[in-house]
Amino acid sequence: MEKRYQVFVSSTFADLQDERQAVTHALLSLDHFPAGMELFPASDDDAWTLIQSVIDDSDYYLIVIAGRYGTVDERGISYTEREFDYAIERGIPVLAFLHEKPGDIPVKKTDQSEKLAAKLRDFTDKITARKHVKFWSSADDLKAKVIQAISAETKRNPREGWVRAGQATDPRRLNELLQEVDRLKADLAAVSTAAPVGTEQYAQGDDAINVSVTYRPKGENYGVKNSLDVRLTWDQVFYELGPMMIEEASERRLHSRLSEE
């Protein structure tokens, strides 16, 4: 069955209208449903109750951060941060996009209050510490990265989603499928901690390798090449390169990343 997913889009509003539109277009191009403050219907519910219900109905949560912390509640916490915390609490997958160069953001789109600016810094630090983030520099750049990230996330971590009524199966068949899913999950759990058969012959884990490094020192001896061997374990190598390999990084990017480390 073809699924479509609902994605909650969280950000400040006035300063990121172009970027929110770009994210909306990105999600619609993938046949997903964007949900955000500009799409909320009129309701008698208070604002936060409505926001919670929409997040609960969403399959993924996407947050875009630039130069403003946002409107704060009576406790001094912005709705954007409350939404992020709530999505984490509910176990909804979070995709975070932070502005690549905050110093380049026009002044009129940044917080002039040092108190709000400090809250924004603390908030971005919290996001970075808890989630893998992507950085964007323009609305078009953000759109491209959202398409890439959502496509990868829905494949790697599929959620309940929505299907057309005509594609829905009868209750008995649905129950059979759910039982099959439970069985497959149990099988997966049983083998997830064991190495695949035949891999014991390969180097792995704490096994160490020597990586040859050539470098030029700074200062007077810049033109002189120096060489040395760095001893690493395979766990260390994959700790650095694993996240990049998920997105099918080129060999050149992997080489560059390992060189930096």
Which domains, and CATH codes, for the chain? 6-156 (3.40.50.10140), 203-260 (no CATH)
Dihedral-angle region of residue 205 (phi above 0 means left; psi in -120 to 50 means alpha; beta otherwise): left
Question: What confidence score (pLDDT) does residue 214 get?
Answer: 79
Comparing 41-50, 155-164, 197-206, the range with the smallest average pLDDT is: 41-50
Query: pLDDT value at position 238?
Result: 85
**Whole-prediction pTM:** 0.62
Q: Which of 135, 144, 70 is nearest to 100 (CA)?
A: 135
Name the average pLDDT for the chain.
87
- Greater confidence (192 vs 151) lies with 151
pLDDT at 44 over 60: no
Spatial distance between the Cα atoms of 60 and 10, rounded to a whole number of angstroms: 11
Of the ranges 153-157, 220-224, 226-230, which one carries the lowest mean pLDDT score? Answer: 220-224
User: Of 216 and 94, which is predicted with more confidence?
Assistant: 94
